[in-house]
Amino acid sequence: MEYTPRLKTQYKEEIISSLKKNYKSVMEVPSLKKICINQGVGKGSTDKKIIESAQEEMSLIAGQKAVVTKSKRDISNFKLRKGMPVGVMVTLRGDQMYEFLDRLITAALPRVRDFRGISSKGFDGRGNYTLGIKEQIVFPEISIDKVRNITGMDITFVTSTDSDEEALILLKKLGLPFINDNKKPITKEDSKISSLEESPAEETPAEESPAEESPAEETPAEESPAEETPVEETPVEETPVEESPTEESPVEETPKKNNKLEEK
């Protein structure tokens, strides 16, 4: 007997029968065409050992020999020239595609740190979904002792549909754990209702605030006359009266009159 992957038989027997109700023909039911795995090397473009180790790791993960991707043009900012190695990629189809997807769902994703599910924001608008993984250690085929650099990768699921909704339903049926499935998106009506509910709560402190501020405004009005009353300016006007030096003039004149009497 020929070996067939578990997800492939599940798709033919269960998924197609559950989805064909929404379509006129069985041929319109969406299907998974291929899975593309890409990994960038980064600074390893100048080191051949890093590229070789990345190629070996990718071939172990995918079960198929990986291909080295090369730059198509010269980029001076990244110190790249045309033909230099940039990363590694693999394209899976058929049975190998379903086997990789089964290992990804059952073994790799549960080993991710603080895994709570996959977000549904990775669709490109044409029915294709891209998943990012930060560490290649997640896959059990790789031993941590032999790893030189921890690098991530992008996994792209290409479907036969052009709508994201149909592709999302298909990937859910295949077993990919998406988060926020039960939560509804917030609409404009919900936002208006929430704003109306919050508005009276905000008006109550606004009415109380002026009542508290009113006595504070009266207090400086009562203090203002107290500041105007001080009569400390009056001695300033008396000082020039005390300093009148004009009174000394008759004192100086008296000796002059005595001198005239002596002369006579």
CA 14 to chain centre: 39
Span 239-257, mean pLDDT? 45
Record the pTM.
0.64
- At residue 170's C-alpha, the angle toward residues 12 and 119, to 5°, is 145
**pLDDT tens sequence across 45-74:** 677 888 888 889 999 999 899 999 988 888
CB distance 137 to 153 below 8 Å? no
Determine if residue 168 is left, alpha or beta; phi over 0 gives left, psi from -120 to 50 gives alpha, anything else beta: alpha
Burial of 141 per CB tally in 10 Å (0-12, 13-18, 19+): middle
**pLDDT tens sequence across 185-239:** 444 444 444 444 454 444 444 444 444 444 444 444 444 444 444 444 444 444 4
- The pLDDT, as a whole number, for residue 100 is 93
More confident residue, 34 or 210: 34
CB distance 17 to 7 below 8 Å? no
More confident residue, 130 or 215: 130
* HEC readout, 74-114: CECCCCECCCCEEEEEEEECCHHHHHHHHHHHHHHHHHCCC
Point out the least confidently predicted range of 98-112, 138-152, 250-264: 250-264
**pLDDT tens sequence across 72-97:** 888 888 777 888 888 899 999 999 99
